[in-house]
A = this chain, B = another copy of it.
Amino acid sequence: MIEQTEKQIFTEFLVKKNLRDTPQRELILNEFLRREQHISAEELYDIVKQRDRTIGQATVYRGLKLLCEAGLAREVDFGDGTMRYEHEFGHEHHDHLVCTTCGKMVEVLDPAIETLQKALAEKYGFSLSNHEMYLYGICSECRGK
C-alpha cells in the first residue's frame, strides 16, 4: 500500500529531525495524499478544517513545508501569486505544459531536454541541481473552437 509507505517516510522524517508526530500533521498529510491535484495551502486549509474545526491556518502552512522537506511534496509556482503543492513521492521529476486558455495542465518529461539542460549548465561552469520548465500554449481542444 503506497500510502503506508508515504506515512512511513513522514514518520521517519519527523524522528530524524526530532519533530513530533501530531494529529494535525497526520491530518494534513492524509488530506494532502488523498488528492492528486495541485493544491494551495489555503485550499488544503479549507479541507482539513472540515475534519478539525479548530486547526489553524499557520499549522497548514507549516505542515506543507514539512511535507516538502520530507520529500513528499513539492512547491509549484504557476505565477498567479499562490504557491501550490504537488505530490513528489512516486512522481518522477517532470515539467509542466499549461494551456493558457482553459488552464489544463499536463505533466511532461523529455529525457533529451533533461540531458541538454545539464550540458548547457555545465557549459557555463554550473553544476545543475534542479530546474523548472513551464511550457505555455493552447491545447487542441481550445484551438478547435
Contact = CB atoms under 8 A, between A and B. Distances in A.
Copy total for this chain: 2
A126 B97 contact: yes
B121 A143 contact: no
A108 interface: yes
Nearest to A135: B131
A125 B113 contact: no
- The size class of the interface chain A forms with chain B is 20 to 34
A121 B120 CA distance: 21
A138 interface: yes
Query: Which of A79, A129, A130, A135 has the largest number of chain B CB atoms within 10 A?
Result: A135
A2 interface: no
A138 B129 contact: yes
Given A112-B116, A116-B116, A128 B124 contact: no
Interface string A17-50: 0000000000000000000000000000000000
Contact of A113 (B79, B100, B113, B143): B113
A129 B137 contact: yes
A127 B120 contact: no
Contact of A139 (B126, B130, B133): B126
Interface of A: 77, 79, 97, 99-100, 106, 108, 110, 112-113, 116-117, 120-121, 124-140, 143
